[in-house]
Amino acid sequence: MKKVIIESTIFVYKNKEALPEDVSSLMQKAIEARTKAYAPYSNFQVGAALLLDSGEIITGNNQENASYPSGLCAERTAIYYAGSQFPKAKIMKMALTAGSEKKESNEPVPPCGACRQAIAEYEIKQKSPIEIYFMGKTGKVVKSNSLANLLPLVFEKSML
Ligand code: THU
């Protein structure tokens, strides 16, 4: 038996203002998207903004449904739109912000497991890393240099 240690590195910025200018404005777009989320059941709003290699910015937010599992997370709303409208574009950066309408929390909110799997598909497809930045409603911002870093042991197409 061999022990294998899997390591991940993340970077933490003290707030949105401490981000590089282009990322800070991408995060601002994610914040604007978050406020337009349709989340009447959870009251938990999530916003995503993607920067494509063309310079185009795609935003999305969570879309809930009375049949709960029919809803969709912000990350997948945005990335599937990007994939459908700009199939050849590479996604360079993704900014995420999330928080409850009912309570204050400034803890960074990472993408859920299903969204990590969805984002991984595009990172593998485009053969280049997607920088992921995530925060709560305010406060610290976490950066990961790639999605792979957030989803070790990914299941992907080469295994099919
Ligand atoms: N949600 C997202 O939009 N992204 C995530 O990564 C985690 C969860 C949404 C789904 C649901 O509308 C609400 O947040 C509560 O789970």
Domain ranges in the chain are 11-150
Q: What positions carry a catalytic annotation?
A: 75
Rg for the chain, CA atoms, rounded: 16
Question: Which of 43, 97, 49, 96 minimizes the C-alpha distance to 71?
Answer: 43
Average of pLDDT values for 15-30? 98
Q: What is the pTM (predicted TM-score) of this model?
A: 0.97
Residue 83: its pLDDT value, please? Answer: 98
Whether the CB of 132 sits within 6 Å of ligand 1:
no
Confidence bin at 124 (pLDDT 50/70/90): very high
Q: What is 11-150's CATH superfamily? A: Cytidine Deaminase, domain 2 (3.40.140.10)
pLDDT of 43 higher than 90 = yes
66 labelled ligand-binding: yes
Whose CA is closest to atom 9 on ligand 1? 73
pLDDT of 105 higher than 90 = no
Q: How many helices (H) and strands (E) does the chain have?
A: 3, 6
Distance (Å) from CA 146 to ligand 1 centroid: 20
Angle, helices 113-126/74-85, rounded to nearest 10 degrees:
20
pLDDT of 104 higher than 90 = no
Whether the CB of 150 sits within 6 Å of ligand 1:
no
Distance (Å) from CA 74 to ligand 1 centroid: 7
The Cα–Cα gap between 143 and 125 comes to: 21
Whether the CB of 62 sits within 6 Å of ligand 1:
yes
